[in-house]
Amino acid sequence: MEFIVSPDFLALQQLYEVIEEPTLLKISEASLERVKNCRLYLDEKLKQTNKPLYGINTGFGSLYSKNISGEDLEKLQENLVKSHACGTGAEIDSSLVRLMLLLKVQSLAYGHSGVQVNTLERLVDLFNAGIYPVIYQQGSLGASGDLAPLAHLALPLMGLGEVYFRGEKVPAASLIEKLGWEPIRFKAKEGLALLNGTQFMSALGLWSIYHAEKLNLLADIIGALSLDTFDGRLEPFDAQVQNIRPHQGQEATAQHIRQLLHGSELIAQPKQHVQDPYSFRCMPQVHGASKDTLQFVKKTFETEINSVSDNPNIFPQTDDIISAGNFHGQPLALGLDFLSISLAELGSISERRTYQLISGLRELPPYLVANPGLHSGLMIPQYTAASIASQNKQLCTPASVDSIVSSNGQEDHVSMGANAATKTIKVVDNLYTLLSIELLTAAQALDFRKPLTSSPTLMAFCQEYRQLVPFIEEDRILHEDIQTTIAFLKGLSIASVQHIIKR
């Protein structure tokens, strides 16, 4: 697939396709013209003025009052990248670095950053060749942009740092020499343009949003299966109930459950109980709130990926160079905190349904095993789920309410959006595990309901799943079943999950 970087509006759905498919980047002529004109304007401006221009002919942060001589402007940018490449912690996955490269190209290509065309094209070359700089999780305050992560992203342009190429970590210098590329010599402002920006937060947030889209739907599918195997009631999902409290997510969830359970023998059988526990009965309200949160976060990130987030901003048409704060990650930090909370709630209610299914209620055997006592069955996966649900609560302490002064007081309020992003990634992975444990449990319960069946849709879904994870006749190593289930859910595309619901 070819992805054209252009000034046109970029929808999240286009980036979902980049996540799912092999992609080559190409910069549109309109973008190249903008970048070229902005650089020409900046070069001319520097020839004509002695006025201090932050980060262009001055120092950085609290050193803004230090003027830099003309002959040192290029060295200034080189030193900036080197000094800021101080990330620590675990390396982020190359799939996330790939998104960072794309988003950095997109932001610079609007022509308000002052980079050279060959700098932009080298970023495209890295993306297209599958050369991914080594970037670390820790180091960004999410305020002057993602300084440390983006410094590591920029190092290979200079022939420095390390990269992954074809699965192997190698020095950037040796790979660039092997490919016959020349290191980029940064001109005034370029290092700052590369380091200022929200591309670390944005890339991790985009990845989380993509998976959140799928996880919100999987929660409905697996929740519907649990409701059916628990011998639950369908009345709480009636459209009339949702119409008198018409939150969009609530209405959508109830509709999904009705569609998924259409034609189920289990849901149609007479019930001995008049109400179900909240974890079943309140799925429209709980799942729905998470869906509504996702819509808010998507809007925030869609605005961000169509933005220029470095500093200072250059406006050739009005002859303005303005030092401002577009690099501040507060919108993303708040959105990521909100997203992680909404996903944790899907995991929390999922764990409760798992607990109900193994509790020996409604004519299901305790722990869903034929011979409890000799066999522990699905007793302990619920422990695992409880541990993970609790960890998610701890991870959902908001990062965005924190701020630590940096740069000698010049940068006195920061977003901590990068920390919000890294913990949201963990919440996403945890939710895959929680839903996998619920699916493992609900599928086991379904077999105990034979000869009655669930809906054709859910029976087909379970049949596909059973090809990978068979019925548990007696105790076995359940770690393997959980890992297989996680891989099964992660392997489903958004389109395939949507198809299950609309089937």
For 291-352, the three-class secondary structure string (H helix, E strand, C coil) is HHHHHHHHHHHHHHHCCCCCCCEEEHHHCEEECCCCCCCHHHHHHHHHHHHHHHHHHHHHHH
The residue extents of the domains of the chain are 2-197, 204-502
Query: Which region holds residue 51: left if phi is over 0, alpha if psi is between -120 and 50, else beta?
Result: beta
The predicted structure's pLDDT at residue 260:
98
**Cα 61 from chain centroid (whole Å):** 30
Please say whether the beta carbons of 147 and 85 come within 8 A: no
Nearest-angstrom CA–CA distance, 359 and 367: 6
The phi, psi pair for 138, rounded to 5°, reads: -105, 145
Residue pointed to by tokens 């409290």: 245
Helix/strand number for the chain, H first, E second: 20, 9
What number of CA atoms fall less than 13 Å from residue 62's CA on the CB side?
8
pLDDT at position 422, please?
Answer: 97
**Rounded to an integer, what distance in angstroms lies between the CA atom of residue 269 and that of residue 456?**
16
Beta bridge pairs of residue 314: 321
Q: Is 2-197's fold the same as 204-502's?
A: no
Half-sphere exposure of 316 (CA within 13 A, CB side): 18
Q: Rounded to the nearest 10 degrees, what angle do helices 248-260 and 283-305 cross at?
A: 120
Check if the beta carbon of residue 205 is closer than 8 Å to that of residue 301: yes
Give me the catalytic one of 54, 132, 432, 465. 54
User: Which is nearest to 223 in space by CA: 383, 346, 344?
Assistant: 346
* Residue 464, token pair as written in the block: 């596909």
**Which pLDDT score, from 0 to 100, does residue 70 have?**
66
Question: Of 106, 103, 134, 133, which Cα lies nearest the Cα of 206?
Answer: 103
C-alpha distances in angstroms, 303 versus 108, 209, 331, 471?
A: 15, 14, 10, 46
Nearest to 38 by CA among 49, 27, 46: 46
Contacts of 299 (CB under 8 A, 6+ apart): none
Q: What's the CATH superfamily of 2-197?
A: Fumarase/aspartase (N-terminal domain) (1.10.275.10)
Matching residue, tokens 């011979």: 371
Both tokens of residue 208? 């989380």
The token duo for 332 is 């993303």
Cα–Cα distances (Å) from 91 to 96, 97, 140, 363, in that order, read 10, 10, 14, 49
Give residue 60's pLDDT: 67
Q: How far apart are CA 12 and CA 21, in angstroms?
A: 14
* Structure-token pair, residue 411: 């940068």
Which tokens is 168 given?
A: 């192997």
CA 226 to chain centre: 27
- Of 192, 91, 99, nearest in space to 138 by CA: 91
Sign of the C-alpha dihedral, residues 226, 229, 231, 237? positive
Closest by CA to 337, choosing from 373, 296, 302, 382, is 296
Q: Which residues contact 285 (CB under 8 A, 6 or more apart)?
A: 247, 250
- Could you list the pLDDT tens digit for every one of the 503 residues in the chain? 899 999 999 999 999 999 999 999 999 999 999 999 999 999 999 888 888 777 787 876 666 567 767 677 788 889 989 999 999 999 999 999 999 999 999 999 999 999 999 999 999 999 999 999 999 999 999 998 899 999 999 999 999 999 999 999 999 999 999 999 999 999 988 999 999 999 999 999 999 999 999 999 999 999 999 999 999 999 999 999 999 999 999 999 999 999 999 999 999 999 999 999 999 999 999 999 999 999 999 999 999 999 999 999 999 999 999 999 999 999 999 999 999 999 999 999 999 999 999 999 999 999 999 887 778 889 999 999 999 999 999 999 999 999 889 888 788 899 999 999 999 999 999 999 999 999 999 999 999 999 999 999 999 999 999 999 999 999 999 999 999 999 999 999 999 999 999 87
**Dist. CA 94–CA 106, nearest whole Å:** 18
Q: Which fold has domain 204-502?
A: Fumarase C; Chain A, domain 2 (1.20.200)
Look at residue 406 in the predicted model and tell me its pLDDT: 87
Check the CA dihedral 278-281-287-289 and report its sign. negative
What are the residues facing 357 on neighbouring strands? none
**What pTM, to 2 d.p., does this model score?**
0.95
| Residue ranges of E strands in 172-234 | none
Q: 354 by DSSP, 3-state: which?
A: helix
pLDDT at 68: 67
Residue 114's φ and ψ, nearest 5 degrees, are: 80, 20
Residue (of 314, 301, 299, 298) closest to 108 by Cα position: 314
- Whether 54 sits among the annotated catalytic residues: the reply is yes
